[in-house]
Chain A
């Protein structure tokens, strides 16, 4: 039995409605409990800001990030955020660390932990390569993980939707999650991955996918309904069509509207729209490009069926990586940058392109503003998840820097001063004076994740929750984040303590322990007759079109050493 008592913590826990109140936290065997014995080890937080461990709900940290690494050995040496990037030799407790946008696996674990994060969700894994994602998960220390499985351009999915077989579709999704040990349904540019198999794209929600006679709208709705039929813990997680194109805010709102029809079976959203910054563009070309954030925020403020995340931009080098193959090709041609592509048979496509966001570029300046605008214009923080879509908008190690954009108008104005004139009338940010509180920041970085992923043991500090805790070197009473942004940034960059499942993993910004985290995956049950009928169709796919046999396709137990199986019952 291991016990820990954290005294004098100033707790900010929006799930319980606790807003910076001084209290003690008791921990036994990795969980928050009512009380502990007098033998408990004691940490005196001395009034420091204490939150549940951070939970990054959309990050690219395993799988195709390796393509990013393989294209950019230069990234390994980059040290743009000292203490959280660049090269560090191995020590008695830690493996060697490299990188900034695409750190090695060990650095990902240590650095997230230093920021007070304890859980991450890898946002895209094609089932055929899921084993690779899990191999990297095994080498990311400390953090709990989950992965979202790609289904948006999958042949079996598109055929079932075309043939109007929703039950078999649900059975296939259940099997696909099991095969990939995935946590939920990810859709990237619905149908676009298949079109990219021929070097093409789909342009909007009603453009038919070549050879499959379905539209992106049908794919989105079909998967949305299958998701609810299976009662999955997370909603569909959607990367909208037309990402990165001026004028795409209309497609984004259309997509959001589609889901007004989908009834959630759990107490959560029926749609999560991801990295909306890249999908909130107005104008008709890069010439008259401007923010579409106000239109999107307007719509989101009026409905209750969806959540979204930001995809906030960070100036400097980034590596874009997405299952949106055509977007990456377009990026590489436009920016004259190197380009990797990986189309996955029967399943999806993806691409990787490095780039640099500059505050001198009016397009990048407006993109930067759009992320913040979305966070500030949407009134209810419980709809907004904070992300940079790491490393697409920028590396996660910049989260503390990005928090200051949300918490300090002064900081924003300082940055905007450096923008070209042309950028200023394309954005609405200079007129926004909202500044987020620690409470609102806690919602966006851990509490909303607990709700939208249906993980009640995460993102809060109630009795029964996992003892994943971040203690920041900030005294909430004695700091004004709207002006003291450097202090805020420093404190959020290296916790006083990060505790993972009751174990101290970071102390004063240094790694103390490196336990292996858990992997969450969903095992959805469907009626056996439907399962059998679906398997017959699947057998044909494997016999004729896949290059791996069905029995070698399923991710084996060996790849998930600390599994947490979430069982759900469908239909």
Chain B
């Protein structure tokens, strides 16, 4: 049986590249090394429901059509729209993302990624204070203090702790977990917290207070710290600050618990300052625990192609950026866009009600391998091949390391990249020629 080694798992931001997959007769027969999430995604290509053919909504029902018809219908929506939202693109390849950006540029659309509802504030924090980070191997080889803040890798990134952090063995940490201290800061005792040496429970939404108190302690301003901050005692704060200063290499790994809680990007901004202060005493780095396997990739590609990582508005012909004004939810809640194209994402399930209501009212194009609540709202549905299983391409790990995902089995489905290329050609044709209006 053909065995494919060093396969890259395309589920979470860990992008584990040591998966072994057995393939026979173009079927995935076995998956080794992946965690339960990765395993389920890889075999899911065959077991989960797929969108079987392209569809167009007619009289309220989605009816099956050819790729050509669906692309033609989608292109008409785009060509007729005065302001389109293009959203998602974090569970696909950088090659497809690049084409989605080109399509947005051609059509004067707003384009945004799923970071809009997860680590978008981390990108803002980088703009404010920078991002003192490292690759995951630096944590593996050097880090003797690992702090998980507002994240729960046991469930969200199941192999993070064994491959890259707490349990991994590295050059200067040959004994793995024994060579490291593990601290979890969270609002509840998660399964990750249960495995920590120290669990610090903080009050909901008070992360900024705690970071500020830690900075005071590290910078020698103990007197400024009250008895209790964010529900944590001064003694405990001083203890943590000492532990940080006395460690050789401190890694602060943070999740949505801190990016999406009160103070939003100011939390990341403060952590960055904390790293800078700590570096006066020892080595320290920070890293966002990115969720979707290529949400980092969207940020990278968008940044080199447009100058901005997300929330890019092409209505002026050049990129304009003002998250809060040009984010996916901003333009939906303001009912500003009159059409939308969604790729490899599910705003129907994750966006606030008001935004979803507007999505339901406007012509909506969906490109995805799998049906999801967004399909229920879509007017044109175009099925795509699964990137990293049925098509190769680039993804960026949570630490900005690009890896080439492999193709494991052949497929009849078009790839995201091909669909987007076809759309660009078709939209150009329509814009140059007569554009007929159709109501969807």
Contacts and interface: CB of A to CB of B under 8 A. Distances in A.
Contact of B319 (A98, A338, A353): A98
Contacts of A16: none
Contacts of B249: 197-198
Given A90-B105, A96-B306, A343 B171 contact: no
Select the residue from B131, B276, B308 with max chain A CB neighbours within 10 A: B131
Select the residue from A99, A199, A332 with max chain B CB neighbours within 10 A: A199
B86 to A, nearest CB: 15
Contact of A139 (B98, B126, B138, B142): B98
A62 B301 CA distance: 12
Contacts of A346: 137, 141
Interface in A342-396: 342-346, 352-353
A477 B97 CA distance: 51
Given A97-B318, A339-B276, A551-B6, A132 B136 contact: no
Interface string A79-120: 000000001111000011111001111100000000000000
A73 B308 contact: yes
Given A71-B126, A544-B171, A552 B17 contact: yes
B299 interface: yes
A89 B318 contact: yes
A72 interface: yes
Q: How large is the interface on A (under 10, 10 to 19, 20 to 34, 35 or more residues)?
A: 35 or more
A103 B317 CA distance: 16
A21 interface: no
A340 B130 contact: yes
Interface residues of B, number: 67
Interface in B124-172: 126-138, 140-142, 163-164, 169-172
B96 interface: no
Contacts of A198: 142, 248-249, 283
B402 to A, nearest CB: 4
A72 B138 CA distance: 26
Contacts, number: 184
A422 B312 CA distance: 46
Select the residue from A71, A339, A551 with max chain B CB neighbours within 10 A: A339
Given A547-B163, A548-B401, A344 B135 contact: yes
Contacts of A339: 129-130, 132, 272, 276
Contact of A340 (B132, B317, B318): B132
B21 interface: no
Given A87-B318, A104-B307, A132-B300, A549 B394 contact: no
B405 to A, nearest CB: 9
A294 B308 CA distance: 43
A283 B276 CA distance: 28
Contact of A345 (B5, B123, B136, B282): B136
A135 interface: yes
A341 B137 contact: no
B351 interface: no
B8 interface: yes
A571 interface: no
Contacts of B400: 129, 132, 342
A66 interface: yes
Which secondary structure dominates chain A's binding surface? mixed
Contacts of A345: 134-138, 140-141
A103 B130 CA distance: 18
A75 interface: yes
B321 A329 contact: no
A287 interface: no
A98 B135 contact: no
Contacts of A15: none
A109 B407 CA distance: 32
B318 A549 contact: no
B142 A197 contact: yes
Contacts of B123: 70
A136 interface: yes
Nearest to B306: A104
B134 A548 contact: no
A333 interface: yes
A235 B133 CA distance: 31
B142 A340 contact: no
B316 interface: yes
A96 B314 contact: yes
B127 A69 contact: no
Given A99-B307, A548-B17, A549-B6, A72 B127 contact: yes
A340 B133 contact: yes
A438 B135 CA distance: 46
Given A139-B304, A548-B401, 13 more contacts: A89-B316, A89-B318, A96-B314, A103-B307, A198-B248, A333-B280, A338-B129, A341-B134, A342-B400, A547-B163, A551-B5, A552-B6, A558-B392
Interface of B: 5-6, 8, 17-18, 94, 98, 102, 105-106, 123, 126-138, 140-142, 163-164, 169-172, 248-249, 272, 276, 279-280, 282-285, 299-301, 303-309, 314, 316-319, 321, 392, 394, 396, 400-404
Interface of A: 62, 65-67, 69-73, 75-76, 87-90, 95-99, 102-106, 128-129, 131-132, 135-136, 139, 155, 197-199, 211, 329, 332-333, 338-346, 352-353, 544-549, 551-552, 556, 558
10 contacts: A66-B304, A70-B126, A75-B307, A87-B319, A98-B318, A104-B304, A131-B394, A132-B400, A199-B284, A345-B141
Which 9 residue pairs of A and B lie closest in terms of their CB atoms, listed nearest first?
A: A89-B317, A345-B137, A76-B307, A199-B283, A98-B307, A343-B134, A338-B130, A341-B132, A340-B130
